[in-house]
Amino acid sequence: MIKKVGNKYCVYSKKGNKKFGCYKNLKEAGKRLGQIEFFKNKNK
């Protein structure tokens, strides 16, 4: 999940309790979210 916090975009877990980093723009945040999903589902 990506939330806008101030002028940054922050990547959070689906429950919203873990923050995986904040980025300058939505494109960078989306890229990081894709990386997280890739590794989460890698061994399935």
pLDDT at 41 (0 to 100): 86
In angstroms, rounded to a whole number, what is the distance separating the alpha carbons of residues 7 and 42?
32
Q: What is the pLDDT of residue 43?
A: 80
| Number of domains within the chain | 1
Nearest of 34, 32, 43 to residue 9 by alpha carbon? 32
What's residue 13's pLDDT?
A: 93
Model confidence pLDDT, tens digit, residues 25-37? 999 999 999 999 9
Mean pLDDT of 11-16: 93
Domain that holds residue 19: 2-40
Q: CA triplet 29, 9, 44: central angle to 5 degrees? A: 35
Average per-residue pLDDT for the chain: 94
